[in-house]
Copies of this chain bind each other. A is one copy, B any other.
Amino acid sequence: MIKLNAITISIGDELLSGKTIDSNNAYISQQLDLIGIPVVKKLIIGDVREDIIDALDWAFAQADILTLTGGLGPTHDDITKSVLCEYFGVALVPYPELLEKLKERFIKRGFKFSVSNESQAEYPENAALLENPVGTAQGMHFVHKGKHLFVMAGVPNEMKAVTDKGIIPILATLTSALVEKIDIHSIGIPESTLYELSKPIFDEHPNLKVAYLPKQGMVTIRLSINSNNVGENTAFLLGIFEQIRQRRPKNIYGHDREDLSSVIGSLLLERKATVATAESCTGGLVASMITDINGSSDYFSTGFVTYANQTKQKLLGVREETLARHGAVSEETVSEMLSGTLRHAESNYAIAISGVAGPTGGSAEKPVGTVYIGVADNSRQHIQRFQFGNNRILNKEMSAFTALNQLRLLMEGLI
């Protein structure tokens, strides 16, 4: 098995200034990854002659495969092609058939073919062209000192077309390496604890590569392993997922594309059951997350956003004395919100949330970030107090994700 690695270079001032986020290179990385070629470095530079030349020297010295995107348009600031000619010591050569095709294409779309577009039919003489079916700048393939350089336009759909139809088929002939991966998703458990409980499992499999990816208070563990055949290690990776899940079933909710909305959606569909929501501090975010899933109307009909005490009384039947005695942010209020939701929405399950999202409104007893999250079916309620942080938006998100997870736990008999 030949081991190859890659470096990606992006050219564009808009990427350096932070006006545009470089999503192109994420796409290229993913595609190379699928055929077992890891991207080991990524470099972003401006439309500057010296920087492009330095970048080529730097990358050819370190990697087998180079990709270069950007700076191939018809305007003055697109210098990539002329710098490539200088770098390789070659001339541009015209492609008359390509010129005819480009002219036809402009006319068909009702545009004028301006002289500046003629450069799109000229390429360095040592380049093999890779067809770009969705734009005017063709892809280029150079072989230099036994290494491969691929050059593409930076427009996302053009980059994708050249990558899929030009680059990947060429590279697939060079490598038989394959990498299989699994993403294991957790909630409500610190990265350090997750690390300690899963380490003994991973230590038994030294060929497993492990990464911890924290995001919004939730941590994903990414496992990868080299395979010789497609699917060779799929069952093995799912087995590892099961081992970790069994150690913390309350915190590990799914893998890969399973997010909390889709997990509770599947559980509800399986049971032909419905859920309704009553939200105070999350202000509708839980309902919005549930309805992010296509087909959610099969199990979600009704959400109450009861931001004011009066609305909690009127829509859900929360009693005035409960609010007066225990406050809106309390187990007692959430309990009555749950009963009211089940009754008024006629659903099988209910979620109710009341808390202090902040940044103002906290007290010594119930500081900012205090949230009561309740879930219920028609036979029982489970209400728990959580303490999140000081950021309003993050508190809303953590509360909403946690509420969906609590519903999962209730449905699976884990709380």
Contacts and interface: CB of A to CB of B under 8 A. Distances in A.
Given A21-B23, A157-B391, A302-B307, A191 B75 contact: yes
A267 interface: no
Contact of A26 (B21, B26, B112): B21
Contacts of A387: 108-110
A167 to B, nearest CB: 14
A169 interface: no
Contacts of A286: 284
A392 B292 contact: yes
A201 interface: no
Interface of A: 13-23, 25-30, 33, 38-48, 51, 58, 73-77, 106, 108-112, 114, 116-117, 134, 155, 157, 183, 190-193, 195-196, 210-215, 222, 277, 279, 281-288, 290-292, 294-297, 300-308, 310-311, 315, 345, 357-360, 387-394, 396
Contacts of A51: 40-41
A305 B303 contact: yes
A19 B220 CA distance: 11
A23 B20 CA distance: 9
Contact of A20 (B41, B213, B290, B345): B213
A119 B17 CA distance: 34
**Oligomer: number of copies:** 2
A301 B308 contact: yes
Contact of A307 (B74, B183, B303, B315): B303
A389 B105 CA distance: 10
A30 B19 CA distance: 7
A41 B42 contact: no
Given A73-B191, A76-B195, A283-B287, 13 more contacts: A14-B222, A16-B40, A40-B46, A58-B58, A74-B191, A77-B210, A283-B291, A284-B305, A291-B307, A294-B358, A295-B360, A303-B304, A304-B305
Contacts of A114: 190, 192-193, 196
Contacts of A44: 41-44
Contacts of A196: 114, 116
